[in-house]
Every structure is written in C-alpha cells, then in structure tokens.
Amino acid sequence: MTERKSETKRTWRLTRRRFLKGSAAAAAVIAATSTTRRVAWSDENTLSYLCWPGHGAEEVVGPFEQANNVKIIPKEYVGGEAMLALINQSDTGTYDVVLSDREYITMLRAGGFIEEMDVNDYPFDDFWPEFRELPGHWLDGKLYSVIVDFGYLGVVHNTDVISVKEASTYKVLWDPKLKGKVGQFDWYLPSMGCLSQFNGNKSPFNINDAAFSELRDTVFSLKPQVAGYHGIPDIFNSLKNGDALAYQGIGDWITILLSADGHPVTTTIPDEGGIQWTESLSISKGGKKQDLAKKFIQYLTSPEGQVRVALKSSYWGSIPNKKGWTMMNDTRPNEATILRHRFDQRNVMDEYAEGKIALRQLPEQQSIDDWSEVWNEYKNL
C-alpha cells in the first residue's frame, strides 16, 4: 500500500519551527521520561536508539550487543510529540535507529529525518500479510519503516464490576455505576479515536467537520463520569486501587501486566471497533552507522528479537513475524496463550479478519491542533 507524494494538510500543522521554539509541556515530558544509559564504550562501538521505554533494555538487546560487540544506548520518550521534539532539538544523525508510532512516520519522512530502506533487507515474507505494506511506511513504492510490534486499544475494565458483555460497547462508559470512575488516558489521539468509533465512524480519524462536531459533543458528555486524566504511571495505580474502573483508548499493554499481578482487569474490543497502535523502526538520516542500524533492525524483526520485544518487562506487545509466533509457542507457550499468539485457537488476527480494527493515525480532515484543543477544553470543563 503506497502513498501519494503529496502529504495531507495536517502533516505540516506540526512543524519543525514550532518544535524548535519548544514548549514547557514538551520539555517537561522529555525531562521526566527520557533516559540515556551511560557506558564507557567508544563511539564506534555504540548505537543510539530513540525508543519508547523498555525497548533498549538488556533483556531485549542483550544478544545483539554480545554478538556484535556493541552497546545500545537508548534515549527513551513517552508520546509522539515528545519523540518529534527530541529529533528536532538534536543534530542530524544523533540517533541511529528511531522507534516511532506508525502515525508519525509521515512527518519523520517529510521532515527528512529518516532514510529510505531496502525491502529485501527485512523478513516481510515471514510477516502476517496485513503488516507487510502498512500505510505510512511506504511512499511511491519506497520503504521508510518496518513494524516491530503492535496492539489493540478498546475498553480496559475491572472485571469485578464490568463484565465482558457490558464492555462490548463503549456505551458502558456512561453507565451510572461508573460515575466518577472512568479514567482518561491523557492523550487525545487514542482517547478520542475510540469515542469516534462509538459514534459510528469506521475511519475514526478521517471524519468531516460535522462528524468532528458530533465527536466533540460525545467527548464532553463523558465529563460527569471522569475520575481523572492520567499518564501511564497513574493509569496503573488507578486500576490497581480502584480509583478508576474503566478506560477507553488503552489495552493489553496495560492489563496483561496488571492481571499477572492478580488485579481483576482485562481489555475488551467493543463491537464498534478497536484501534491499533503500531511501533515502527526507521534508520536515521545522516547517521554514521547505517549498516549497523540495519543489522539491529534485522535482529529486532527476527524470531528471537520478536519474542524478546513481545515479552519485554515494560509492556508486552503483539508481533508481526509468524516465525516469532512459532518460536514463542515452542519456547514460551504460556506467554503465547496470554498474548493470543496461538495458531490453534482464536488469536489477535481474528479481529482483523472481522474488520474491527482501525489503525491509529493523525487527524485527516482537521489539524492536530483542532483535536488537541477539544481535548484540552474537555479537561478544563
């Protein structure tokens, strides 16, 4: 699936100039969430990796480091805007490999931050067909990014209070028994995207202005139910202590870890649909270690790398490589069952087959600012 050379108008509403100006909010996110491992290695034997938390952990990258006598230096961030800010504020080639949410790849590509990649270098034949030509990864038949993991966002709920049947529609968020107990992941994109699906929008981020006005009304109508607007640590804590009994716009990456610790929570994909988050790997433009960067991405998309990415301790994710599924079933069968990566029973690909999953993406017919302003207004009601 290729894209036209012309980018949609919303791509450049979030520009290099705006990021270079900086903002207090972005700076606070970067300062609070980014870390760099300090090691006594020469520059020639290191690879800089811009990524979400946990992707650069020893449990994930250790075998690659040992096999190649190299040290992976992760710079961690939380949220696409923070990732873009870090890249804009850094010299060209500061990061050798960039892990990004799929919806931001078009901006990285249009900004000249990532290199074209050779499709023959990566194991696409081993991927589920649905993940071989993801929108955003390609332009005019040219590859710029490779999926490494993914997951689905729907309704996360406390199973002692909300049944799976009740959570099979987003309407449950307005249930009187949840007044003051509906948490909100404080990121407009997934949180509003799921409510757009509730409104019947099969392409939840590609809606006209009339549908966007309706979405605004739907978002605001949820306010009496809201327990608070939470970042990732507060989501975990609120679900643990019962301050929040349900969220929209998050998924198994939260509930798998909590349920493993005995907390009665799960993720249900409602009948109206769920949203897919997708984490993608790209090679930085201007990097001095592009051959090593390619080799690192090949490792992360290999069966061993895939299993390690899927089961990282920071959060679990589904993987696109079917040989990775086979290895997980052979070596970690319990985990394969939890992740629904079994070939002999219902698995995560079934929601795809049923047409219930929409890719998370940036707004198409409105700007990023339009959506984020609605979210900020909602928070301040």
pLDDT at 327: 98
Tokens 């980018």, residue located: 7
Query: Is residue 282 within 8 Å of residue 108, measured between CB atoms?
Result: yes
What is the DSSP code (8-state) at residue 367?
-
Query: Is residue 93 within 8 Å of residue 287, measured between CB atoms?
Result: yes
Cα distance between residue 47 and residue 155, in whole Å: 38
User: Chain-centre distance of CA 59, in angstroms?
Assistant: 20
pLDDT digits (tens, 9 = 90+) for 273-330: 999 999 999 999 988 899 999 999 999 999 999 999 999 999 999 999 999 999 999 9
pLDDT at 42: 55
Pseudo-torsion of CA 259, 303, 124, 350, nearest 10°? -30
At 60 the three-state DSSP class reads helix
pLDDT at 6: 36
CA distances from 274 to 148, 184, 352 (A): 20, 16, 10
Cα distance between residue 153 and residue 157, in whole Å: 12
pLDDT digits (tens, 9 = 90+) for 339-373: 999 999 999 999 999 999 999 999 999 999 999 99
Cα distance between residue 85 and residue 16, in whole Å: 9
Domains 9-149+278-345 and 151-275+361-379 share a fold: yes
CA count, 13 A, side-chain hemisphere, 164:
5
Q: Taking the domains of the chain in order of start, what are their residue ranges?
A: 9-149+278-345, 151-275+361-379
Domain 9-149+278-345 maps to which CATH number in 3.30.2130.10, 3.20.20.370, 3.90.1150.10, 3.40.190.10?
3.40.190.10
Pseudo-torsion of CA 323, 325, 331, 332, nearest 10°? 160
pLDDT at 27: 35
Cα distance between residue 158 and residue 255, in whole Å: 10
Residue type for position 68: N
Residue type for position 149: D
Nearest one of 189, 25, 23, 29 to 102, comparing CA atoms: 189
At 362 the three-state DSSP class reads coil
* Crossing angle for the helix pair 80-88 and 24-33, to the nearest 10 degrees: 100
- Which pair of tokens denotes residue 229? 């607007």
* pLDDT < 70: residue spans in the chain: 1-42
Q: Which CATH superfamily is domain 151-275+361-379 in?
A: Periplasmic binding protein-like II (3.40.190.10)
Cα distance between residue 110 and residue 212, in whole Å: 26
